Amino acid sequence: MTWNSARAVRLTAALAAVTLASTACGSGDTASDSDNPYEGVTLRFLRHAGYDADLMQERLADFTAETGIEVEMDTVPYSDLHNKQVLELSGGGSYDVTAVPDFWLGEYQAAGWLAPLDDYLADDELYDPDFDIDGIPEPLLEANRVDGQLLALPWKFNTLIMFYRSDLIEQPPADWDGWLAAAEAASGDGVSGVGLSLAPASFTEVFMDLVVLNGGQVFTDDNSAAAFNSPEGVEALEFLRELTGVSPQGYLNRTYDDNAALMAQGATATDLLVPFQASVVEGEDSQVAGDIGYATLPPASAGGQSTGKLNTWALAVTAGSANPEAAYLLAQYLMSPDLVEWMTTSAEGAIVPARSALLTSLQEQYPSFATAEQAAQTAWSYPKLPNISSIENLIATELQRVLAEGSDAQAGLDAAATAVDRELGS
């Protein structure tokens, strides 16, 4: 039996159970004309465009064949997704399911736009045991909870890990001193020690990771104020300044994609990149394929905890859906382990699956997944603040200026903290 036919058996059984339950409760009008309570239901699904959108689209016909639920999927560029969701969800739009990164959940939960999923997961008549919610690493689920409620189901995640040239660096560095020393030793002959992606879109993530790796906090415990302008934050920013000394010029404008290409050209010895970029760094055109090692981020001091900020892409059921149970079934279907595995391999590892078993079983094909699995167990995620995107931009603006002008780290951090506190209080 193929996984599709096996899934069809399970879904048919689940639909039959729902039908019987509805009939037993005296509410079987829908079932009176059909054995399928969802026959004739149409769901609207909104997400960002891209390779995994195309892959999801391929499987929607199977879902319809198995459930009777029609699905209309709309895609927009990622740069337009937030505005599209705010417009649609705030106006009580007709979308039933939407893709969402974890860092927008605070805003959407505060507005009441998403439906909590815990009751659906606890419903034996809807829950597919093969979905295996426990197979998703807890930090990835936690990233999709707000006030204790699970708002979305993740299918993939990203977190920074260290890529290093194993032909130049024998062992991954155990701490910051070791990282800087290895980067300096590997520099020369057209190679820079560290890539550094410090464009505004990535600057804050790199800086925040360094603060946490140094034992500091980004926000106070109640998330009411900035806490990164601490001694740990000053040390993190000064260390970042030291790393720029062994990085190619242009680091304040480079993104992770830019740096993956640089490493593939053999121009850098170490970098902090997301695991799926191994497909570039070790791709067919790479000059360093086979000479790349992977490690979790080095803590400030040897023996400290390695950690990194993660972000997930997940599917949420909208609070305004007229068919929330059917919407949940679609999300569960698209997040199922076998379908996520098919998407991952079809994308040649460009999806880092939010599944512990897949991160383990696919390591031979995609060696960076082993480190991604380690990183997922100790990762942290942003607090669910409605204005986190604005806060990111404020931090990047102030701290980019510190590096560009060579100005005082404490003064720059204090200015950034003041701007963030003003935003938090607004």
Report the side by side order of strands in the sheet with 153-159: 70-76, 42-48, 97-101, 310-317, 153-159
Q: Quick one: 108 and 172 in the same domain?
A: no
Cβ(193)–Cβ(184) below 8 Å: yes
What is the CA 227 to chain-centroid distance, rounded? 24
What is residue 357's three-state secondary structure? helix
Q: Quick one: 28 and 152 in the same domain?
A: yes
Give the end of a domain, one of 330, 349, 373.
373
Q: Quick one: 99 and 153 in the same domain?
A: yes
Q: Answer whether residue 120 is part of any domain.
A: yes
Q: Answer whether residue 44 is part of any domain.
A: yes
Q: Quick one: 239 and 303 in the same domain?
A: yes
Give the position of tokens 């639909």. 15
Q: Quick one: 120 and 217 in the same domain?
A: no
Tell me the pLDDT of the chain (426 aa) as tens digits. 333 444 554 555 555 544 444 444 444 444 444 577 888 899 999 999 999 999 999 999 999 999 999 999 999 999 999 999 999 999 877 899 999 999 999 999 999 999 999 999 999 999 999 999 999 999 999 999 999 999 999 999 999 999 999 999 999 999 999 999 999 999 999 999 999 999 998 999 999 999 999 999 999 999 999 999 999 999 999 999 999 999 999 999 999 999 999 999 999 999 999 999 999 999 999 999 999 999 999 999 999 999 999 999 999 999 999 999 999 999 999 999 999 999 999 999 999 999 999 999 999 999 999 999 999 999 999 899 989 989 999 999 999 999 999 999 999 999 999 999 999 996
Q: Answer whether residue 378 is part of any domain.
A: no
Task: Write out the two tokens for 283.
Answer: 């791709």
CA dihedral over 267, 273, 275, 276, signed as positive or negative: negative
Domain count, the chain: 2
CA dihedral over 14, 18, 21, 23, signed as positive or negative: negative
How would you classify the pairing of strands 145-146 and 149-150?
antiparallel
Cβ(195)–Cβ(257) below 8 Å: no
Task: Write out the two tokens for 347.
Answer: 């994308």
Q: Which of 78, 79, 76 is CA-nearest to residue 95?
A: 76
pLDDT of residue 11: 56
Q: Answer whether residue 108 is part of any domain.
A: yes
Give the end of a domain, one of 344, 373, 402.
373
Q: Which of 263, 312, 352, 5 is CA-nearest to residue 139?
A: 312
Give the end of a domain, one of 346, 373, 400.
373
Q: Answer whether residue 342 is part of any domain.
A: yes
pLDDT of residue 12: 52
Which class for 166: exposed (0-12), middle (13-18), buried (19 or more C-beta within 10 A)? middle
- What residues make up the domain containing 231? 161-308+387-425
Q: Quick one: 148 and 225 in the same domain?
A: no
Could you give the CA distance from residue 317 to residue 97 in angstroms, rounded to a whole number? 5
Could you give the CA distance from residue 359 to residue 368 in angstroms, rounded to a whole number? 9
Q: Quick one: 290 and 392 in the same domain?
A: yes
Task: Write out the two tokens for 188.
Answer: 């020369």
Could you give the CA distance from residue 150 to residue 283 in angstroms, rounded to a whole number? 37
Q: Quick one: 217 and 87 in the same domain?
A: no
Structure letter (DSSP) for residue 171: S
Q: Where would I find the beta strands (DSSP E) of 12-51? A: 42-48
Give the position of tokens 């690493």. 137
Q: Quick one: 279 and 417 in the same domain?
A: yes
How would you classify the pairing of strands 97-101 and 310-317?
antiparallel
Cβ(196)–Cβ(254) below 8 Å: yes
- 99 strand-pairing partners: 315
Amino acid at 230: S
Cβ(219)–Cβ(226) below 8 Å: yes
Q: Answer whether residue 380 is part of any domain.
A: no
- What b/e readout covers 298-320, taking b as 16+ CB neighbours within 10 angstroms? bbbeeeeebbbbbbbbbbbbbbb
Q: Which of 346, 320, 314 is CA-nearest to residue 332?
A: 314
Cβ(247)–Cβ(196) below 8 Å: yes
Angstrom distances, CA of residue 88 to CA of 15, 46, 152 = 30, 10, 18
Q: Quick one: 412 and 345 in the same domain?
A: no
Q: Answer whether residue 175 is part of any domain.
A: yes
Q: Which helix (H) or strand (E) holds 192?
A: strand 192-194
Q: Residue 348, Cβ neighbours under 10 Å: how many?
A: 13
Task: Write out the two tokens for 24.
Answer: 């037993």
Q: Quick one: 66 and 117 in the same domain?
A: yes
Q: Which of 225, 379, 23, 293 is CA-nearest to residue 15?
A: 23
pLDDT of residue 14: 53
Q: Quick one: 261 and 340 in the same domain?
A: no
Global pTM? 0.88
Q: Answer whether residue 100 is part of any domain.
A: yes
Q: The domain spanning residue 274 has which CATH number?
A: 3.40.190.10
